[in-house]
A and B are shown apart, each in its own frame.
Chain A
Amino acid sequence: MLAAEKITVRVRVNGEPREASVEPRTLLVDFLRENLNLTGTHIGCDTTYCGACTVLLNGRTVKSCTLFAPMADGGEITTVEGLSTNGALHPVQHAFAECHGLQCGYCTPGLLLSTLHLLSNNSKPTEKQIRKAIAGNTCRCTGYQNILKAIHMAAGEMGKR
């Protein structure tokens, strides 16, 4: 067994500088959950399928179960904890709540970030574009219809701001 030499990973998470010394094999999702205690990012399938672990890394969504933490060093990360401001829900969160875009809520953090990523690149997505944008996020409760409604609503709300 190889001696696991630890490595310091420094990132900005939701605007705050954070760091921890971890084994190189530490996955970004475990780094966030176990080392930084940000448990809003979920581990679903742990096989690059379901997207529950989706976070923004330098403005783009990634599956944090499929990235070793040192690969994100120096990066800017947004997790679900970074969406609300002073207790006020982000428009994307508000829209999901309003439209019942969630039931059990397990996939929701990932879907919120995929939605944010979509809307920051395309403020008026078509239904087809929305479907493509969330194809890497699996929800086993809703049947997706209310998620699509929520994303439409979020697009409208964010357009007004």
Chain B
Amino acid sequence: MYAYPFSYHRAKSLAEATKLLQQLGEESRVIAGGQSLIPLMKMRLARPSALIDINFIPDLSEIKNQNGELRFGALARHTDIEISEYAAAIPILHDCAAGIADVQVRNQGTIGGSLAEADPSGDWAATLLALETSVVCTGPQGERSLKLEEFFKDAYTTALGREELVREVIVKKPPKNSGGAYLAFKRSAPVYATASAAVQLTLDAKDTCKDARIVLGCVGLTAIRAKQAETELRSKRVDERTIERAADAVREAAEPQSDMRGSVDYKRALVAALVKRAIGIAVRRARGERVEAGHEYVGR
């Protein structure tokens, strides 16, 4: 399958990419890994007149660990994050990175591209919203940093200006006694998940939940913070009863659509089940236990 024809421009720096975006006008788009954009272009659901390739910009895929933060260059591939020791220290990041699609897609797809594409079924949005994440955007007016909550506006829509692009994704390291998990259920490895759940909990010395974030993926136009579910856990002991209440709140918070991946009822039930399990794993990890988790699919 062939995409609609486009002109191709290779940026050597972020400044050049911004300039090209200005010059080439509204129908131009930035391409990073291309694992979302190229399929859309082949199906002619996207038809940019010009592509600005940022893959050749040096030093844009670095992963840095400094001042209590992890900083991911926009071009950090999912595989880079999967094998990063820094990312391994925050298990929820590894859960996500190691299970996105399949090896080939992880080798090519980027964290910056995933966020900028804002696909409702993307994995990074839910994962990173469960942490303190900000996105550094660069454009003709210089740089600005946005909280991830402010970055996502709608399905496939972000706060990025026409001539802006993502430079870096900054994740604040969670405190000690904090644990998280990202669980996604998909029908097979290469496809988008049917539903996903990202949970990050911080416990105090008595195992009471000090703080909780619960984010649902693939069950709305953007990833959804299940704030009522978080309230059900906060300041309480995390036990069967509180988890059940949180799951009830998750069912309410989800806004799934019926499609070939499942009906509305099925997805509500699925996302609630994923949250329950993710809470269990997050608690064990907060206590220092090593637990494997991530994407689940048949034949795994």
Contact = CB atoms under 8 A, between A and B. Distances in A.
A117 B5 contact: no
B178 to A, nearest CB: 27
Given A2-B5, A4-B5, A70-B53, A62 B108 contact: yes
B38 A2 contact: no
Contact of A49 (B2, B51, B191): B191
A115 to B, nearest CB: 11
Contacts of A27: 2, 42
Given A1-B5, A2-B7, A2-B49, A60 B107 contact: yes
Contact of A2 (B6, B41, B42, B103): B6
A90 to B, nearest CB: 19
Interface string B174-195: 0000000000000011110000
Contacts, number: 102
Given A2-B6, A135-B189, A67 B108 contact: yes
Contacts of B51: 24, 68
B103 A61 contact: yes
Interface string A118-141: 100000000010011101110000
A48 B105 contact: yes
Interface range on chain A (Cβ under 8 Å from partner):
35 or more
Interface in A1-54: 1-2, 4-5, 7, 23-25, 27, 46-51, 54
A146 interface: no
B19 interface: no
Interface of B: 1-8, 10, 31, 34-35, 38-39, 41-42, 49, 51, 53, 55, 79, 101-105, 107-108, 188-191, 297, 299-300
28 contacts: A2-B7, A24-B7, A24-B8, A25-B6, A27-B2, A46-B1, A47-B39, A49-B191, A60-B79, A60-B108, A61-B104, A62-B107, A63-B105, A63-B108, A66-B34, A66-B108, A67-B108, A68-B38, A70-B53, A114-B104, A128-B300, A131-B299, A132-B300, A135-B102, A135-B190, A136-B102, A136-B103, A136-B105
Given A61-B103, A73-B10, 5 more contacts: A27-B42, A62-B107, A71-B34, A135-B188, A136-B102
